[in-house]
Amino acid sequence: MGTLGRVIYTVGNWICGSGQALDRIGSRFSVFLMRRCEIAGTHCNFCAGDVNNISVGSGTNIQDNSLVHVAKTNLAGKVLPTTIGDNVTVGHSAVIHGCTVEDEAFVGMGATLLDGVVVEKHAMVAAGSLVRENTRIPSGEVWGGNPAKFMRKLTDEEIAYISKSAENYINLAHIHAAENSKSFEEIEIERALRKKYARKDEDYDSMLGIVRETPAELILPDNVLPEKTTTRVPTTHY
C-alpha cells in the first residue's frame, strides 16, 4: 500500500470511529453514495447526514471545499433530506442544504442552495448564486445572482456539456486511481524515463528567460595537437 493509500486508510478508520462514537451517544450518519460517485479533492468536502439522509447518485462529482448538509426542522416545518442525482457536477465551495438536485444538473462554484430548493434535470445554477428556500429551477434554464433569478435558456451545446463535464471528472478519477495504485518502484522508473527522454526547447527557455549552462568547449592550440599521419597508397603504372 502506498503512502496515499495508508493516509486514506487511516482517515477512513478515524471517520468510521467517529461515526460509531456518535451512534453511541444517540446520533448517526446516514450518507449513501452510489457506485462511481466521486468526492473530489482533499480540502473539507463535508457530507453530514447527522440529522437526516443524504443520497448521491452514480457518476456525480462534488468538488473541493463543498458542503452537503440536511435539515431536520425549518420555518415550514418540513423534514428535508438532500438528494443529488446521477451525473451531477457540483463546483468548488458550493453549499447544498436540504435540497434536491436532479440527474445531469450543474451547480456552479460557490453557489448556495438553501432548504427546499429543487434543481431540475438539465438545469444550471450559476457560480456564486444564492438560491432562496423552496425555489424550483426548471429544466433547461440557468439561474444566477443573489437572490438567484432566471437568466436565460440553456443552449443544446450547454446541456450536452453538463453530461460531458461529469464524464470528464469520472475519467480523471480513474487516472488518479491508476496513478495511486503504482508502487514506489514503478514511479521511480517512470520518473527516470521522463528525465531520459526530456527534450529541451530553446524557444520555451528564451521566452521564460532561462539560461541553461552548457559545458565549455575544449580548444587546444595547434602545437599540442597530434600530427595527422597520412597513409600513402601505392600506385600502379600500366
What is the model's pLDDT at position 26?
Answer: 44
In the chain the first and final C-alpha atoms are separated, in Å, by 84
Question: Helix, strand, or coil here: 162?
Answer: helix
Higher pLDDT: 27 or 171? It is 171
Percent of the chain with pLDDT over 70: 62
pLDDT tens digits, residue range 99-122? Answer: 999 999 999 999 999 999 999 999
CA distances from 38 to 72, 123, 176, 220 (A): 26, 20, 11, 65
- Report the b/e string of 168-207 with b at 16+ CB within 10 A: ebbeebeeeeeeeeeeeeeeeeeeeeeeeeeeeeeeeeee
pLDDT digits (tens, 9 = 90+) for 71-98: 776 666 677 888 999 999 999 999 999 8
pLDDT, mean over the chain: 76
Class of domain 28-162: mainly beta
Range scoring the smallest mean pLDDT among 49-58, 161-170, 216-225? 216-225
Indicate the pairing of strand 31-33 with strand 54-56: parallel
Whole-number pLDDT of residue 224: 54
pLDDT of 16 reads 45
Instruction: Spell 78-117 as b/e; 16+ CB within 10 A means b.
Output: eebbbbbbbbbbbbbbbbbbbbbbbbbbbbbbbbbbbbbb
The pLDDT of residue 228: 60
Specify whether the CB–CB gap between 67 and 95 falls below 8 A: yes
Q: Is the pTM of this model over 0.85?
A: no
pLDDT at 101: 95
Going from N- to C-terminal start, the domains of the chain cover 28-162
C-alpha cell at 194: 521522463
The answer to which of 14-18, 50-54, 142-146, 215-219 has the lowest mean pLDDT is 14-18
- The kind and range of the H/E element at 172 are helix 156-180
* Size of the chain, expressed as the number of residues it contains: 238
Pairing state between β 118-119 and 149-153: unpaired
